[in-house]
Chains A and B, each alone.
Chain A
Amino acid sequence: MNKALSMEQSVLLIGSPNCGKTLLFNRLTGLSHKVANFPGITVEIARGAFVGRDGVALYDYPGTYSLEAISGEEQVAVDQFSAALADPGLGLALCVIDVTRLEKSLYFALQVVRECRLANKPVIVLANLMDVLEAHRLSIDLDALGEDLGAPVLGISARTGSGLDALNERVTQALDDPPKPPEVEAQPNLLLRGTAHQLAHKYGPKGDVLLRTQNRLDSFFLHSTFGGIAFFLVMYLLFQSIFTWAAPAMDSVEAGLGWLSDRVVPLLGPQLLQDFAADAVFSGLGAFLVFVPQIFVLTFVIGLLEDSGYMARAALICHRPLRAFGLTGKSFIPMLSGVACAIPGIYAARSIESPRRRFLTYLAIPLMPCSARLPVYTLLIAAFIPSTTIGGVFGWQGLAMFLVYFFGMSVGLLVTATVSRSSRLAENDLPFVLEMPAYRRPAMLPLLRKCWQRCGMFITKAGPIILSVTLLVWVLGYFPNGGENLGESWLGQLGVIIEPVFAPLDLDWRYGVAILTSFLAREVFVGTLGVMFGIEGADENMVPLVDQIQASGLGVASGVALLVFFAVALMCVSTLAVLSRESGSAGLAAKLFAAYVGMAYVMSLLAFQIVSIFVP
């Protein structure tokens, strides 16, 4: 990024969180920008062309409250800022402050002004949200504030666009004829903190008029009864959006790929090439493209919650119960998303600032009972649990489904609680201090743009990994007999080799192969088992497969063991690819895979032994 900075004239945009910086960036770049993403952390630096100024790039730096970092994320942001100041291509820094909440903005602004002076770079302070002040008939002496800050202050509104023409003029002026920064003694942070406090009192809006509306809404959304109802409604909508609203688009992606496959595959000639295209390439593409609508919808809904200000309230409501398990209130939405699918859940964990809590949330998400587990649970429960009811109301099968869902979630929380108590992690945490942003109407265009970017990132970063593994599993299942018999393929031979591993659960090699292929996606277990038992379309109609499994003499204890195994094991290459990318550590994904598969095996063995006592 700094290489890019040195090739052109650039302007840097920086400010404290929730000051409206990103909205301003979108206005100044006309929504046309790219986001640079740092693996493993949530820091993003966006770059766009300054509208109306050819050859000038605008960089949007992550918001921090101070240049004294207290987390890894903040340190990256601070380091990037320092590197940008040292770059000769940097022509101007724009520091955005929230004029309605001066104190938290001014300390950071003073630090930025000091660093710019030391680096001999001009800086303009942008007093954003002037429209809010004006709406309440309040005013602020920006010239005097500028004199006290040691940098010119310009009043703007990123929301209404007021003051942006003047800003463009000032930017042009500063880039064409850079002003010489005044030579003054650089003050240490301790003194700046006191200065910020004094200036906030001197210039900040008096009274609580700006907080009244926010407090009225908080009285509702944080109310012990109404707030709880609102929270469950919002979460219900979120869950619906991932499960139901995204479904037609996901079906369309599958249908579109099917349509394309039907037209392309027959043109390819040799059978091997046709099989490769149909079962490896198109299946592999489908394995990750099908998630794109879900990621888009989830990013959109979470963006709405963040931009409207509700996300901070939701995090507050959930914080206490989740803290007992080492998590934070902000873990709730990723975990809830994980009940639909772990992939959007892992992306949603970006909103968690604390690296420790985000790591713990990553641990919990794969154990949430995702929708891919549902066909596996349905098959096994139908095969092993009687369809009778208790008192004609409560069915055993329904109870079993509830228990296996509850089991997965409980294991997830137990894992996070256990890991969070490790001393190394306990020492490395941020306190829960969360700014309550003002309730605002979300800006739709930037949000939609962000959704596209997130989907693009998923396709380019996680897609190739998922496709590669799909191709590998296809090769193992196709050769050496040309896909005639899965049992005689290399994959089948592998199933026979690993049969002793599953023998203690009384499962034969066919189940071993089905478990191996379910690494692509858990629901593949059902289809593979169908192939093993010679049933076509088992994933569409499970009844014949259920009959076959029952007729094969497999015991209840083995069925329960399989349920426990799938509730815990991390059998999903897409999840591992996204986890590896988002955490910035392929090692973490590999360790988690090994740990959860190992834990699943031990737990299923225990379940087998316990059930065997009661149902010999």
Chain B
Amino acid sequence: MNFPLWNLTRGQAGVIEDFDASLPEIYRNRLMELGFHPGERVTCLQAPALGAPRVYRVANSTFSLDDDIARLLLLRSADE
């Protein structure tokens, strides 16, 4: 069962499964260039209050994504 990256709470991890079809290809490519590849493990390191962008760790780098873009990355559970 896939769920959006934005659903991860602080400390939770998931594995990137796919991108939402509405995400333009250039942004999809850029996310992959940064390390957000399908099959890659993503951990939510920080989830600041009031809906602020969250901090994610992927491939030894940390990036902050807001809900607009984090909802378009689809994950599966890291336990599967």
Contacts and interface: CB of A to CB of B under 8 A. Distances in A.
Interface of A: 65-66, 68, 70, 100-104, 107-108, 189, 193, 196-197, 200-201, 204-205, 208, 210-211, 214-215, 218-219, 222-224, 227, 312, 316-317, 319-321, 323, 329, 431-436
Contact of A218 (B27, B45, B49, B68): B45
Nearest to B32: A193
A602 B60 CA distance: 55
Contact of B55 (A107, A316, A432): A316
B1 to A, nearest CB: 25
Contacts of B27: 70, 431
A432 B68 contact: yes
Contact of B46 (A101, A108, A219): A219
A222 B46 contact: yes
Given A65-B30, A316-B53, A317-B48, A101 B61 contact: yes
B60 A211 contact: yes
A65 B49 CA distance: 29
A103 B50 CA distance: 31
Contacts of A223: 48
Contacts of B48: 222-224, 227, 316-317
A434 B33 contact: no
Given A102-B60, A104-B61, A211-B62, A70 B30 contact: yes
Among B33, B63, B64, B69, max chain A CB count under 10 A is at B33
B64 A214 contact: no
A319 B35 contact: no
Smallest CB-CB A-B distances: 9 pairs: A224-B49, A432-B66, A103-B59, A431-B69, A103-B35, A436-B62, A101-B61, A434-B64, A222-B48
Contacts of B51: 320
Given A197-B40, A435-B61, 4 more contacts: A208-B57, A215-B45, A312-B64, A436-B64
Contacts of B45: 211, 215, 218
A211 B48 CA distance: 18
Contacts of A436: 55, 62-64
Contacts of B57: 208, 211
A432 B53 CA distance: 8
Interface of B: 26-27, 29-35, 37, 40, 45-46, 48-53, 55, 57-66, 68-69
A121 B48 CA distance: 46
A520 B33 CA distance: 49
Given A103-B60, A317-B48, A218 B69 contact: no
Nearest to A319: B53
6 contacts: A102-B59, A312-B64, A316-B48, A319-B52, A319-B53, A434-B53
Contacts of B35: 103-104, 197, 200
A197 B63 contact: no
Q: Which of B34, B50, B64 has the most CB of A within 10 A?
A: B64
B60 A210 contact: yes
Contacts of B59: 101-104, 197, 200-201, 204
B30 A101 contact: no
A219 B34 CA distance: 23
Contacts of A317: 48, 52
Contacts of A323: 66
A102 B58 CA distance: 11
A386 to B, nearest CB: 40
A100 B61 CA distance: 8
Contacts of A102: 59-60
B60 A66 contact: no
Nearest to B27: A431
| Residue with the greatest number of chain B CB neighbours at <10 A, chosen from A68, A200, A436 | A436
B62 A316 contact: no
A435 B68 contact: no
B61 A433 contact: no
B52 A433 contact: no
Nearest to B10: A219
A426 to B, nearest CB: 12
A224 B35 CA distance: 28
Contacts of B49: 224
Given A103-B60, A312-B64, A435-B62, A65 B55 contact: no
Given A70-B26, A435-B62, A436-B64, A104 B52 contact: no
Contacts of A316: 48, 52-53, 55, 64
A65 B33 contact: yes
Contacts of B58: 103
